[in-house]
Amino acid sequence: MNLLRNYRIEKRSDIGVPAQVLSALVALAVALLVTAILVTVAGGDWKDAFVSLYGGAFGDKGAILESLVRSTPLILTGLAAAIAFRGKIWNIGAEGQFFAGAIGSYWAYLTFEGLPTVLLWMLIFVAGCITGGLFGLLAGVLKAYFNVDEIITTVMTNYIVTYMLALILSGPWKEPGSVYRHTPQVPDYIRLPILASGSRLNLGFLLALLAALLFYYIINKTPLGFEIRALGSNPVASKFKGISVSRTVIMTLLISGAVAGLSGAIELFGSQYRIRMDLSTGYGFTGIIVALLGGLNPLAIIPAGIFFGGLINGSIRMQIITKVPTALISAVQAIILLFLLASQAITRYRIRRIRDVE
């Protein structure tokens, strides 16, 4: 006990990038350990599961390219979450905004069909951004002028959009003659170009990378980026610095929603070619974890997104070979998030000998 009294736990004044990366890696390692336990408890062989998971994700060129396809919506929803979280604005609605964007872009395709392809693409992307952005805007306006917590609005709109989608897919846009609730496939010429033959890797991935660079520029080099960062570090001081908090909140949620909407448009025209209820299997929520794993840094969100894209892709082979259900990945995501939070909290403190302090 005496020995312990010579030490004390104190808060670190600043956390360097290496410490952040280290804490993320430790969190991943511990999360993998828990995952192994989970697989074992469920009656699976964790070694087989991990080997097939890795093989299916990054084992060969084909697997890697497919993982990049899967990572595209995650990088984009990750960016959508991160830009809001930077300002401590909690957009939990990327899932709904993703679907809204898909619906908007599909509407644009139906409306402007016949225009030159490049122009049509631009209209599709803009429409996706607008419809996704509108839901962000709604949350922003309600927060700024009616004091409605954006968490509530964005979560509720997730459910509302889902029901609206179900309505659209069971009626007006339903593929004629099909028993499934989905739209007809979009024609070949409007699909995003494939980048590597023999794979599904498409222009969407490059657009996601571009969006990350754009995010980096906006957050670090523009007045809006400064305002978002100021809001995140100290909302009270922001007010005194002459920043319009309402305007910043509204702009941030608008952009965040637009990026999530773009993600839906890209997933629709780049990868799945039709809207169905599972166009997103929780990409909006996985995006939150991607954003936090990437430390809300746009450039780190890219590898974080690829990592989760790989997990989702690899889980398919894992299920086929080892019978461990792909749903494992949904559990793993949450486990990673919780350990990430815990390890970040622990990194914030350090143990020092009292003698050294005084």
Partner 1 sequence: MLNEFFKAAIIINILAATIRIATPLLLAALGELVTEKAGILNLGVEGTMLMGAFIGFLVANKTGSQGIGLLAAILAGGVIGMLMAFMSSTLKVDQVVTGMGINLLGSGVSLFWYRSAYPNFSLSDAALPTITVMEKVKIPFLSDIPYLGPILFSQRMLTYIAFLAVPVVWFFLYHTKFGLLIRGLGENPRAIDMKGVNVTRLQYLATIFGGMMAALGGTFVTLGSTIRFFPEITAGRGWLAIVIVIAGNWQPGRIMVATLLFALLDAFQLQLQGIGVQIPYQILLALPYIFAIIAMMGGRLRSVAPRRLGVPYQRE
Size of the site for partner 1 (CB under 8 A): 49
In DSSP notation, 203-262 reads HHHHHHHHHHHHHHHHHHHSHHHHHHHHHHH-HHHHHHTT--HHHHHHHHHHHHHHHHHH
Task: Tell which one of 19, 30, 115, 151 touches partner 1 (CB under 8 A).
Answer: 151
Q: Which of 33, 159, 196, 223 binds partner 1 (CB under 8 A)?
A: 159
Among 24, 68, 84, 92, binds partner 1 (CB under 8 A): 92
Q: Does 27 bind partner 1 (CB under 8 A)?
A: no
Sequence-separated (6 or more) residues with CB below 8 Å from residue 232: 85, 86, 87, 88
Is 180 a binder of partner 1 (CB under 8 A)?
no
Q: How many CB atoms lie within 10 A of CB 169?
A: 21
Residue 322 interacting with partner 1 (CB under 8 A): no
Question: Under the criterion CB under 8 A, does residue 292 sit at the interface with partner 1?
Answer: yes
The residue from 42, 64, 206, 316 that contacts partner 1 (CB under 8 A) is 42
Q: Which of 327, 350, 352, 354 binds partner 1 (CB under 8 A)?
A: 327
Q: Which is nearer to partner 1, 20 or 330 (CB)?
A: 330
Q: What does the alpha-carbon distance between residue 125 and residue 55 come to, in Å, rounded to a whole number?
A: 34
Nearest to 211 by CA among 75, 343, 22: 75
Residue 82 binds to partner 1 (criterion: CB under 8 A):
no
Distance CA 34, CA 57 (A): 20
* Of 153, 202, 238, 280, the one binding partner 1 by CB under 8 A: 153
Closest distance of CB 172 from partner 1, Å: 11
The residues, ordered by sequence, that sit 6+ positions from 87 with a Cβ below 8 Å of its Cβ are 227, 228, 229, 231, 232, 248, 249, 252
166 is a contact residue toward partner 1 (CB under 8 A) = yes
- Residue 327 CB, shortest distance to partner 1, in Å, is 4
Calculate the CA dihedral of residues 39, 45, 46, 47 and round it to 10 degrees.
-170
Check: CB of residue 68 under 8 Å from CB of residue 206: no
Is residue 37 part of the contact set for partner 1 (CB under 8 A)?
no
Least separation in angstroms between residue 119's CB and partner 1 is: 34
x/- string (CB under 8 A) for partner 1, residues 195-234? Answer: ----------------------------------------
- Residues 40 and 33: their CA atoms lie apart, in Å, by 11
Residues 7, 121: Cα–Cα separation, whole Å: 62
Distance CA 136, CA 153 (A): 9
Q: How far is CA 182 from CA 169, 186, 314, in A?
A: 6, 12, 26
CB of 203 to partner 1, least distance (A): 30
Among 23-31, 97-105, 182-190, 286-294, the segment contacting partner 1 (CB under 8 A):
286-294
113 versus 149: smaller Cβ distance to partner 1: 149
**Residue 115 DSSP label:** S
Q: Which of residues 255-274 bind partner 1 (CB under 8 A)?
A: none
Of 35-43, 129-137, 186-194, 200-208, which segment contacts partner 1 by CB under 8 A?
35-43
Give the footprint of partner 1 on this chain (CB under 8 A). Answer: 38, 42-44, 90, 92, 142, 146-149, 151-153, 155-157, 159-160, 163-164, 166-167, 170-171, 282, 285, 288-289, 292, 323-325, 327-335, 337-338, 341-342, 344-346
